[in-house]
Amino acid sequence: MAEGRRIVLGVTGGVAAYKAAYLARRLIERECTVRVVMTESAQEFIGSATFAAITGREPVTTLFGSEDVSPHTTLGQWADAIIIAPATASTISKLAAGQTSDALVATVLASRAPVVIAPAMHTEMWDQPATVANIDRLRAYGYKIVEPEVGALAGGDVGLGRLADPEAILDAVDGVFPVRDMDALRVLVTAGGTREPLDPVRYIGNRSSGKMGNALAEVAAERGAEVLLVTAADPPDRSGVEIDRVDTADEMAASVWGRASEYDVVVMAAAVADFKPRITESGKIRRADGAPTIDLEPTPDVLRGVRGMSPRPFLVGFAAETGSLEGAAAKAREKDVDLLVANDVTTPGAGFGSDTNKVRFVFRDGSTEDLDLLPKREVASMIWDTVLRLREES
Ligand code: CTP
């Protein structure tokens, strides 16, 4: 929720700039501290005195000449979130290019805070390929776009491009502050693809990048959970997640089996090798010795070991399938998991290494729910929402 947060409100030059004053008022009602940054053209549409009166502070209108020698870095570092409403095509284009020619774009670039952008412009401008590409780029940067609506535009025109309703913008701002609904929960997440050594330089591995497991760990930590990530991939760069870095299926099994009983939920997002070389050569296998025959043996089934524990943590399995998810329900039954998250790794955008995923939830009763193609963080959020709901129902 946005309550009590420090918000930078960026106002750019469009007829909807007057609505930004209402937005500022609504934020103040929610006990936010609001600092306004106006572009030069915004000042053609609304006076800075309006915002000064609402927020109790003079808006920042220029990078130079104020008491603060570096207003963009001061505000960028201070902000819990930045809202730009209305956002013109020009400001959107500057943001997409990272071009810091005014105080507002400079503030966004000098900040690590989440950014919510509410565009407003004529339909023709919104539909321009340049604007479409810029908006796509901002989405890829992680900015939240609150799409414009159909309505009255400047000059008496009507069409798509009117600033979204201020309440919809406020909802989007709420959405960037994660709810701490996992405060009392301890979760263990596995991630990455294990590597089974053939010799000191070679291994049998798989294409898993660890991104899905990392997203699960990060989102759970943001929502307040105590998180252990047992990973065979590069871990996320954030505090609040305990990391146990492993390589092989045996190491993953030892780590997970040693710790799982301390946890309320175990999510097995790792792509664990099913087989490993029976022998790991101590020296490099030489080409001159001819093509080797590699004898394989099964690895431990990590998930099965957790399933047999008492008390048993709430157990989420993953199923990486190719071509069809028809077998997922049988796998969920066979694995006896509380929730199975299945994906077809051959679907564009859902494969290993991708930042997005398209998954199917398979529940204990065999029912399923198909999610859209979403960023892995959003998939992670929906997995945790579902875990919380199922635990409450059980
Ligand atoms: N898994 C595990 N230990 C293994 C292999 C897999 O714990 N040795 C876990 C994975 O982390 C995943 C689930 O089991 O949560 C399903 O993995 P998957 O590879 O889809 O299933 P398998 O049982 O290995 O079946 P198959 O590869 O034949 O489809």
Distance CA(228)–CA(242), nearest Å, equals 5
Output the pLDDT for position 327: 86
pLDDT-derived band at 125, boundaries 50, 70, 90: very high
CA quadruple 225, 359, 212, 114: dihedral sign: negative
What average pLDDT is seen over the chain? 94
Residue nearest to atom 17 of ligand 1 (CA): 319
Ligand 1, closest atom to CA 334?
23
Output the pLDDT for position 68: 85
pLDDT-derived band at 257, boundaries 50, 70, 90: very high
Average pLDDT rounded to a whole number, residues 81-97 = 97
Residue nearest to atom 3 of ligand 1 (CA): 301
Residue 239 confidence (pLDDT) above 80: no
Residue 1 confidence (pLDDT) above 80: no
Output the pLDDT for position 29: 94
Listed in sequence order, the residues at least 6 apart from 36 whose beta carbon sits closer than 8 Å to its beta carbon are 8, 9, 10, 11, 20, 24, 48, 51, 55, 57, 59, 60
Residue 157 confidence (pLDDT) above 90: no
Percent of the chain residues past pLDDT 70, beyond the cut:
99
Ligand 1 shell residues, CB under 6 Å: 249, 268, 270, 272, 274, 299, 301-303, 317-320
Instruction: Tell me the pLDDT tens digit for each residue of 24-54.
Output: 999 999 999 999 999 999 999 999 999 999 9
Residue nearest to atom 16 of ligand 1 (CA): 319
**Winning range, highest mean pLDDT, from 248-257, 343-352, 374-383:** 248-257
286 CA distance to ligand 1 middle (Å): 32
Q: Which of 267, 274, 325, 339 to mutate to test the pocket of ligand 1 (most atoms within 8 A of CB)?
A: 274
Output the pLDDT for position 195: 98
Residue 3 confidence (pLDDT) above 90: no
Ligand 1, closest atom to CA 306?
7
Average pLDDT rounded to a whole number, residues 253-282 = 98
Residue nearest to atom 21 of ligand 1 (CA): 319
Nearest C-alpha neighbor of 355 from the set 201, 173, 141: 141
Distance CA(368)–CA(350), nearest Å, equals 18
Catalytic residues: 206
Distance CA(41)–CA(66), nearest Å, equals 19
Distance CA(320)–CA(318), nearest Å, equals 7
Output the pLDDT for position 67: 81
* Structural domains in the chain plus CATH codes: 6-176 (3.40.50.1950), 186-393 (3.40.50.10300)
Query: pTM to 2 decimals?
Result: 0.71
Instruction: Tell me the pLDDT tens digit for each residue of 65-85.
Output: 778 888 899 999 999 999 999
